[in-house]
Amino acid sequence: MLANGERAPDFTLPDQDGREQTLSGLLSGQPMILYFYPADFTPGCTKEACDLRDLHAQILSAGLRVVGISPQLPDSHRRFRDQHALPFTLLSDVDKVVIRAFGVDGPLGIGVRRATFLIDAQRQVMDSVLADLRISRHQEFVERAIAARADPGASPTPG
């Protein structure tokens, strides 16, 4: 998994509408919460996505944006996004190139680890969390990132 302080690799992936997106373009001068998840429509991934949806106004107010990545096709992402009213971009990494580049490929190349990264505008990893089954840790991570943006003297995600 990419470590804090490392530069996130730029990439190009299709979004839920089939449009090509790059990390640099998505950052567009502001930090980002980039999260990796195993699959659309599974209970854990749905909970995580809905938690981010419910925090979305606070995320935007903190000057952040959210993007999710998993190996499903864009059409699956579009249905998942529509069904759960997700207001953020979902990227399709069918070949798991970006998933491997971020070091979140599952054991023996099977599946995807549930990981969330806070990436600054220059693509530097400011903080991250890896919690495959403890989904609430990702929401707590995002809440701390929001709080840290509200108090610039605070560290990105203490604790």
Taking the C-alpha atoms of residue 111 and residue 96, their distance in angstroms, rounded to an integer, is 9
For residue 68, give both structure tokens: 């999710």
Query: Helix axis angle, 136-150 relative to 43-61, nearest 10°?
Result: 10
Q: Residue 145 in contact with residue 56, Cβ under 8 Å?
A: no
Answer yes or no: are the C-beta atoms of 92 and 71 closer than 8 Å.
Answer: yes
119 neighbors 66 (Cβ within 8 angstroms): no
* Residue of 27, 33, 45, 115 marked catalytic: 45
Could you please report the per-residue DSSP string of 123-146? Answer: SBEEEEEE-SS-THHHHHHHHHHH
**50 tagged catalytic:** no
Identity of the amino acid at 38: P
Catalytic residue numbers, as ranges: 45
